[in-house]
Amino acid sequence: MKGNVEQQQEKEDTQEEYRLLVDEVKPKPNILKNCIRAFLVGGAICLIGQLFLTFYLGSFGEMEAGALTSGTMVIIAAFLTGIGVYDQIGKFGGAGSIVPITGFANSIVAPAMEFKREGFVFGVGARLFNIAGPVLVYGMLVSCLIGIIYFLFA
């Protein structure tokens, strides 16, 4: 019986030594650099969105310009995801690349691109709606609930 206790203690000691070794070798993240990159990438995405909004406001009303800006940003992010550029932006900018509207487009298109070998209609197109369906349903459900709460209490 004593042998099992000693073996267990030796195993725990070995695991602790291994954990300490991994902690020594593991690269330390540069938090300041990551924050600056996220700020720059997120800011650049927002700047591009603001430029589109300003452009559209010159030709359309405020509501139409906002909708066109959102649509344009989604299309651009989906296109960049499809050609693999948005992944590079994400690797560089980290959290800054998940600015809500473009991050949403990327999160829907990226998993669908895994089915590219099955063709763009039956692979990407079909999978795109399988992935987007739950996101859209729950997004609309939450927006309706928020609308009801706003109507009741505002």
Q: Where are the domains of the chain?
A: 29-153
* Structure-model confidence comparison of residues 144 and 135, the more confident one: 144
Which band of pLDDT confidence, cut at 50, 70 and 90, is reported for residue 120?
low
Which band of pLDDT confidence, cut at 50, 70 and 90, is reported for residue 90?
very high
Mean pLDDT of 9-31: 84
Q: Is 60 left (phi over 0), alpha (psi -120 to 50) or beta?
A: beta
Euclidean distance between the first and the last CA atom of the chain, given in angstroms as a whole number: 70
Can you say whether the dihedral through the CA atoms of 78, 39, 135, 154 is positive or negative?
Answer: negative
Q: pLDDT, tens digit, for every residue of 41-72?
A: 999 999 999 999 999 999 999 989 999 999 99
Query: What is the pTM (predicted TM-score) of this model?
Result: 0.67
From residue 48, alpha-carbon distances to 41, 53, 91 in Å are: 11, 9, 19
Under DSSP, is residue 128 helix (H, G, I), strand (E, B) or coil?
A: helix
Indicate the DSSP class of residue 58: T
- Show the tokens assigned to 22: 């991994």
Number of neighbours of residue 94 by Cβ within 10 angstroms: 17
Tell the residue number behind the tokens 């070995």, with chain if given.
Answer: 14
pLDDT at 24 over 80: yes
